[in-house]
Structure 1
């Protein structure tokens, strides 16, 4: 099933189509309330004296989540949501020093990241077997035709929510594994902020600042900026990033707010993209020796990736009399990237010491408009309470991409006698030679538009402790690909049942469906149907705040069964030679998840997770795919992190923590005409550690991940597309709070 060989997505970014394309802790001396109007984002450090003894208390009211609008687009508590949701709050991001979203899922059940190692451009994440679509502030991002991530910096956000399972009933087009939604930092009324400086492994340098406060009685402002300059584990590679996000909230009345949100991000990676090491010398033995993580088989003086993206929009909120409110979200975004890359593409001979190299320039431009308008509120009908939601959203995306290729003379596609010269695996000389041709972008890859309109409604019925959730949505999708027009319509729905006990234990069961539009026609020339998905999920949630005033704890356990149908497969076609499509493909993913987040007495923080995921392709026109697991879907993932802070005496404010993460092996691809052999990644057990010291105005921290520097292969998507997992990274942080 071609759409599961996501090697083609990554390869299109870094170089191949098919097989040839293939904490900052915001602390303040002002007390903090959850979802408050103070200048801090969440945490605060308080220093006092009790009985002559120095006391420092670091509070983190948002470390353990209580709500996630991503799941229901309403204020239904997280514990009452009959579907798995993981929330990585700003408190967690800062404590564990997560740099990007794929790191942020390290301690999340059912989600895996860093599948292509320490990629400097994108967030490669899998959720329940599928790459999730990215949303920002509840609106779809202008994701490209090849990867579902636009790589916005994690420092930009207050939280990252992972909604597991079908999400189409509220968000339209989405894979059955789920989505992730990131909430931007917002203006607040009280003055506050931070300046953060980082330095670490591979010459990692970063300075970032966020500040907020009231500009007048009716206007709050925030500014967030970041600049990063870093090296990489790979020789000859460096990357720069600039991010800026001004925001303004206008209080138009006692019940009306208008928040203007915008961002700009520039990325530049010099020397290489990521991956494209041979399986022989990484996952398999090479008679000449094994490659190091620093191996660069590209062209450091030539390879370059450049990306510019920006977005601007607003969120309008108005509370009507009673319990009803109106929310209007909109954003216009532009995304553009350019890259040129030389990469390893085959051995020159049987010695397995020299590799051929090919050239692959790529460019893509995306423009997107997203709009979501919804009305929510509560209604009592006797003893029954209804939490209602109704809305309409619209998405308009325009995407154009093109590529060029120049490879060895005997290459399967686009042979070119003047490609890049070969290179020695263990003693590389990066001279491209006089015959090298800087291939221009020549071939159109995508030229498509998508217009999607959806209307949705939801009702949560509360009768005593019983909660019944009903959601429904209808979508109209118009597609245009290279002038070929098509339209698709789909109804999706979700229902759930849960029971809230006084002890905070909430058992639940739910069913939901999803869809994704599919471009193209089948072997008979008829338009393809949307790919559809469905999930059954049952579990129990526990809100442990009833255990005492000093205990914040949230735990979940879930079992799920996902089926995806109408999956496209690329097969030989005598009519539409050489390749046509069928939609007989079907996928099954079953598993279970356990997750716990806790903070006790403002001293002990715990993140723990375990997930079992069993995936299988159960039907396909490509016989070799049947029975195979989905790529980058480990059966087992387990993690545990604990952090302790001293509160009294000479060690007050000093804290330390440690974590362990285990991921079992997983397939790098599915078998097919371009990947006849499937390579499984290596299982890994990695250890993390942290030491930190807090005062009311300063925070100092040293975070280490993979501290024992375990070397392992994170993924081999093809014979010449292997990636080492992230090695040891140690970063020191100094943060001044004001």
Structure 2
């Protein structure tokens, strides 16, 4: 079956499944509208199940028109930055919380899109990649966490989970090793799963959009028995999508069952799981030659949809799942115990032919500016991870000083088995590609056979005296890694200390110092194992969340200045007889300023705004990157979005602008990515419990360059994407 026949078959059964989903949405009987009072919403927002249950029991059931559309648009607290239930303005670290209300309004499909209006982080580094989320935060690639536990990341620091399964995304900027162990100094990303709720609610949605995007999704939660001892939730997504690249088709099935057992008013057990299967057919991954993309080609400009892969051969298949639980027991009003446990599995199989640049003459010039060499790179990777995090949280008072205390231990056992093959593939005409050449898959050789065991002991203490807040934390990690029988052991202590002052009007200046570490695989020429890289950061900032605003109005403004350093970075061995070996004498420094603003007024106006200034530099190196900026780190970024809903709460619209400054695609800064301005727009209409929404990303269809890493590795950014969504809520 060729690519056109295959795509046609997919579309046929896709239409049948979509018809069933639409029938379900249209044929479901209406249920009474229910509006919980403010104390229920506040209890839910604070994660206090006991208070929420009590509030619901006294809440009258009544029929009324639902006007409140995004009650949690502006976040108020996080429990992941310090693993304590602490208001954001008391956290001495830059943290951005992106709740489900924002994700739904702006129709963000993945993590790369979620950070469009967040300071300090940039996504979509390789254009519209349907497989992974490519992010850069404060100059580094952030690892991904799920419910506070590190995801089963392998050769890529994300796992590409469907965003629909999560109720919030937390962006923790700066060193976070004190709470999470091994991590780069730029920060981490945490996704919090949707959880069962004591009140019945749900939604069914369908979506159709650009590049053949067809999606059906559903989410239902509520009590499973009359006494409310068991609460359930089921979240599911199915989609079939293309991309702007010719011949690419992506299928996904995602389901996330969850069950909460309310054992007693003080004890809860929530079972969490997710299962996701992905097939990406025909994707060549970009890899366009620079001539015709970022440099002049006498034969013309390379189209943004050009696929230099092999549509009938290339295939990316991924099966991943996570199964575990969150347990909580309250001993008394002051002390509680919590434990998170998950077993993760992520199995990836890739067959990929991709572009290797134009055929060149001996002097380095293209032979005919149209013949593209290609490589064949099959790659298999199987990652598993068992994670458990146990902690005790308490409160104490000593005279005028109040304390919040956290003591914990976590353990992670991680395995990564990977193999790859490599061969040349038939060449292709850049401007008139003809696919279908016979391609043999080369045999695979072992690439990684790693087992890593990490044990961490950590503690955090927050002291409150009048309006002063002092946060002190420390952690000791013991990490044993074995790769192909070579074992290394790393022991490291990391810490952080921060001070906040809480003014009565909601202004909270702070200053903090934090450290991080991350193991480095490999050894130098003499066989000495590399030490972990070490990071440190000084950060000072102001957070402002006014407490004098009337009901229905909320805002959060944050500003931060930071100076971040990393040492023990790998750099080429200067000894000419040690070719292909590294030494560990490199160093990096990143300085920056970040401003961020999010607000919601009277359920009518919503605002998002962010500004980022980043000055990154390699301060020590034996390579061509000495004194250069880090890869894919724009010096300036600016974004802003406003959404307005008219007085009846029915019709609304938003307009957003994103400016991404120039950056460099390679360590030597030889390849510059120009700056770009992009616009996004949304129109949404709500009637009773129906929501019709039109989202447009890159409104004016700007053609732009996402990145060039070399003469053979250029990637276009996402062209205009239009999605129409119909949702029925219950």
Q: Normalization by structure 1: what TM-score?
A: 0.89
Q: Deviations over 1:12-55 (max 9, x none)?
A: xxxxxxxxxxxxxx99633260452689xxxxxx9999xxxxx8
Matches within 5 A, 1:669-688: 669-671=666-668, 678-688=670-680
Instruction: Map Cα deviations across residues 113-147 of structure 1 (whole Å, 9 max, x no partner).
Output: 00100110101011111110110000000100x21
Q: Distance in 2 between matches of 1:699 and 1:229?
A: 22
Counterpart of 1:71 in 2: which secondary structure? coil
Q: How many aligned positions are there?
A: 676
**Alignment deviations for residues 245-280 of structure 1 (CA, whole Å, 9 cap, x no partner):** 100000111100000001100000001142211111
Aligned equivalents of 2:472, 2:423: Cα separation in 1: 54
- Structure 2 residue corresponding to 1:286, chosen from 289, 294, 297: 297
Greater relative contact order (Cα < 8 A, sep 6+) = 1
Task: Give yes or no for contact 2:598–2:609 (8 Å, CA) kept in 1.
Answer: yes
Aligned match of 1:658 in 655, 660, 666? Answer: 655
Q: Which residue of 1 aligns with 2:332?
A: 321
Is 2:286–2:308's contact at 8 Å kept on the other side of the alignment? no
Q: What's the offset of the Cα at 1:581?
A: 2.1
Distance in 2, matches of 1:382 and 1:236, equals 69
Q: Is the 8 A contact 2:653 2:683 kept in 1?
A: yes
CA drift at 1:547:
2.6
Matches of 2:316 and 2:573 in 1, distance apart? 33
Among candidates 191, 194, 213, match of residue 204 of structure 1: 213
2:241 is aligned to 230
Q: Do the aligned partners of 1:355 and 1:423 also contact (CA within 8 Å) in 2?
A: yes
Where does residue 613 of structure 2 map in the other structure? Answer: 612
Query: Which blocks of at least 5 consecutive residues in structure 1 are unaligned?
Result: 1-25, 40-45, 50-54, 408-419, 672-676
**Separation of aligned partners in 2, 1:93 and 1:152:** 15
Moved more, 120-129 or 548-557: 548-557
Cα contact 1:164–1:179 (8 A) shared by 2:
yes
Match of 2:101 in 1: 91
- How much has 1:718 moved relative to structure 2? 2.0
Match of 1:124 in 2: 134
**Does the 8 Å CA contact 2:33/2:66 hold for their aligned counterparts?**
no
CA displacement, residues 61-98 of structure 1 (integer Å, 9 cap, x when unaligned): 21100011111100111111011000111000000000
* Residues 35, 196 of structure 1: alpha-carbon distance in 2 compared, 3 angstrom cutoff: farther
- Aligned pairs for 1:212-611 (under 5 A) are 212-216=221-225, 217=227, 218-349=229-360, 350-407=367-424, 420-433=425-438, 436-441=439-444, 443-571=445-573, 578-611=579-612
- Give 5+ residue unaligned stretches, structure 2: 1-30, 54-60, 361-366
Q: Contact 1:573–1:580 at 8 Å: present in 2 too? A: no
Q: Is the 8 A contact 1:56 1:695 kept in 2?
A: no
Are the counterparts in 2 of residues 273 and 305 from structure 1 also a CA contact under 8 Å? Answer: no
User: CA offsets, 1:662-691, max 9 Å, x none?
Assistant: 0011111213xxxxx731112110001111
| CA–CA distance in structure 1, aligned partners of residues 35 and 256 of structure 2 | 24
1:288-340 deviation per Cα after TM superposition (whole angstroms, max 9, x unaligned): 11111110111111111000001100110001113111100010011110111
Moved more, 93-102 or 566-575: 566-575
Counterpart among 166, 190, 206 of residue 175 in structure 2 = 166
Aligned partners of 2:550, 2:605: CA distance in 1, in Å? 15
Kept after mapping to 2: 8 A contact 1:27/1:697: no
Give the whole-Å Cα distance in 2 for the aligned partners of 1:289 and 1:572: 43
- 1:629 aligned to 2:639? no
Deviations 1:598-618 (A, max 9, x none): 000110000000010110000
Distance 2:677 2:351 in 1: 35
Contact 2:358 2:712 in 1 (8 A): no
Give the TM-score, by structure 2 length. 0.90
State the distance in 1 between where 2:292 and 2:547 align: 52
Cross-structure match for 2:194 = 185
Q: 1:521-579: per-residue Cα shift (whole Å, max 9, x none)? A: 2232222111000000000000024232231100000000000000112437677x542
Q: Give 1:431 deviation, angstroms.
A: 2.7
Candidates 141, 152, 168, aligned match of 2:161: 152
Q: Would you say the 8 A contact 2:34–2:63 is kept in 1?
A: no
